[in-house]
Every structure is written in structure tokens, then in C-alpha cells.
Homo-oligomer: A and B are copies of this chain.
């Protein structure tokens, strides 16, 4: 088996395999679970068309069923969990069944949360097929569905059996999807890895030209940041919070637009800029550092501002963030490039000023 292995320290530690192939998953699984076990692939229609055959080719010694979930963030719902439950029962799934979450963040979050609760918990493997899922959502065991009252409002910390990353699935990924992963990679760089930021700046042109070799290094470095922060703090009491940089602002923006006409990457991009302005006002970032972030995001075509939003509405939406504590908004601010801090004393006035910097 080729590829790289990083282990995530966790209450239940698990390995992240980078640069492996879909076809080889079966070989690995045979070392972890019994032969002949029941596998339930949860995936999207287009991913199934592109990659299901490759995946299944490596699984001749297992009983494999597939559940196809329509594309879209709105599928991350309790209603879809209920439908997956009916389908799983119809396929004879039991608590020994292993779920294979083949897809991006939506599939990983949905299938993982489903696995966490079906018969009080099945095992599952994350098989991310988007850059976002590879560097971010597949690592850390956070699974969830959305609720009308908030994104990812219902979920669990539920570590997978393993994360299995085949970079070749990136070849068919639309550029817009790639941008979601790049936004998170820039986030990782800003909060914890100045060298990664330099790497991304240096190779911005090759990244846009989509050179496969580059993505392997980019994804590996970016994943490593996530693994490190998650390993140090699985249940998000401390350092893992840093990963929320740009997200309190970004989620509010996504929520205000009802997740239409804005991608997660775009929300995070604008959110990072807003948080960085707030950090600058507090003396945590220099003007040059703020500009460095803005220039990099712009070079990929990620937005750094948005038109015609009401900042008060966005502040109200930030009030529903599950990181908040006793009504106080909890924010992550960068401290220069490569470090971050959590602040619990941000006043609505300064959050307002930060929003105004990114609303044109």
C-alpha cells in the first residue's frame, strides 16, 4: 500500500491515509474488520457514477450495498437520516455494518452522523473526494446535520475507523469546489502554519493550473494542520477552536443567504477578512498582514467583500453560533500569520465595524 499515514490522537485514535487508491481500501479493511461483513456505501449520484466501480473493485470479499443521496447541503437533515435508516434496515444493516462515506463534506457529515446513531453506533470510513473534505471535514470526527435554527446544529463527535484519501478524485472536482478546500487551507496556514501560507503564495499559479503533484503536497500539509489541532483537543475545548477562524462571520453570511448563491469557501473567505480586520483593530495584525491575506484570497478568485448586506442582521445571526457561551459571541482572531487566539469579549460594536469593512 502506497501513500502516507498520519495518526489522529483521539479517545479512539484513527489513521488518516493520504495518497492511497480507492481500489486498495478493501485490502486495508480486511485487516480491520471481518471478511464478509456488510458495507453500506453512502454517496452522491455523480460520485457514484465516477468512483463507485473503482471502490467496489477492491471489495469483492464484502457484502456491499449503496445508498445514493441527492446532491446538496439541504440533504444534511434529520429527515434524510430517517430515510437512510429505512433504507439501511431494508438492506439488512445491523450494528456490525460499516458505512463508507464516499464524497465531500455533506456526505461525510451526514453518513457519519447516521453511523453515530444507527443502532447506537456503527463504524464508518471517511473517503473524501473533495479538497475541502480531504483537508478539513473528514478529519476530526465531527459529524452533523443542519436544522432550520442553525447549520450543523445537531451532531456528534464520532471518530471514524479511518480516513481514506485518494487524491485522484480531485481531477474531476469543479474549480468552485476546489476553492472551498483552498479557503480552508488558507485558514490552516493563517492560524497555525506560516510556511504553508508561503507555499500557497509561491505556487498560486500552479494551483490554479491544477497540477496534481501540487495538490498532494498542499492537501498533505493542510491536513497535517487539522490533524495536529484535533489531536491536541478532540472535543473542542481549546486549540481546536482555532479552526473556527472566519467561520463565525462566514456562517452568518451563509445563513443570511439561506446557503444560496454563496459557497462555504466564499463565506469563510469573507469571514476571515472580517475577523482579520477585527484583529487588526485590536493590534493583533499589521496592515501588511491583512493585505497579504486579502491578496492571496483574491489571487484565487475568492471574494474578500460582499454587497448590500445589513450588518445588524448578520450580527444577530452570529448569536446562534454554537461556539457562543452564555450569550457572549466567541471569536477566533489571527495573531500575525501562523497563530490565533480565542476571544470571548468581542463587543457588537467592533463586530459591526468588522462587518462594515467587508460590506461594500
Enumerate chain A interface residues (CB-CB to B < 8 A).
11, 36, 38, 78-79, 81-82, 85-86, 89, 92, 94-96, 116-121, 142, 144, 147-150, 153-157, 235, 320, 322, 324-327
Contacts and interface: CB of A to CB of B under 8 A. Distances in A.
Given A142-B120, A156-B156, A148 B326 contact: no
B94 A325 contact: yes
Given A94-B324, A95-B325, A120-B157, 8 more contacts: A78-B78, A78-B81, A86-B147, A89-B153, A94-B326, A116-B156, A117-B155, A117-B156
B149 A86 contact: yes
A89 B325 CA distance: 13
Nearest to A145: B117
Contacts of A79: 78
Given A81-B78, A325-B96, A326-B96, A154 B118 contact: yes
A247 to B, nearest CB: 14
A233 to B, nearest CB: 14
Contacts of A36: 326
A85 B118 contact: no
Nearest to A36: B326
B92 A147 contact: no
Given A38-B326, A78-B81, A121 B157 contact: yes
Given A89-B320, A120-B142, A320-B89, A81 B154 contact: yes
Nearest to A87: B149
20 contacts: A36-B326, A78-B78, A78-B79, A81-B154, A86-B147, A86-B148, A89-B149, A89-B150, A89-B320, A94-B325, A95-B322, A117-B155, A118-B153, A119-B153, A119-B322, A120-B142, A120-B155, A120-B156, A120-B157, A121-B156
A159 to B, nearest CB: 13
A92 B322 contact: no
A327 B111 CA distance: 22
Contacts of A118: 153-154
A255 to B, nearest CB: 12
Given A121-B156, A156-B116, A325-B94, A149 B85 contact: yes
Contacts of A38: 326
A117 B326 CA distance: 19
Nearest to A324: B94
Contact of A322 (B94, B147, B157, B325): B94
Contacts of A95: 322, 325
* Interface pairs A-B: 10 shortest CB-CB: A119-B322, A89-B149, A117-B154, A120-B155, A78-B78, A85-B147, A86-B149, A78-B82, A94-B324, A120-B156
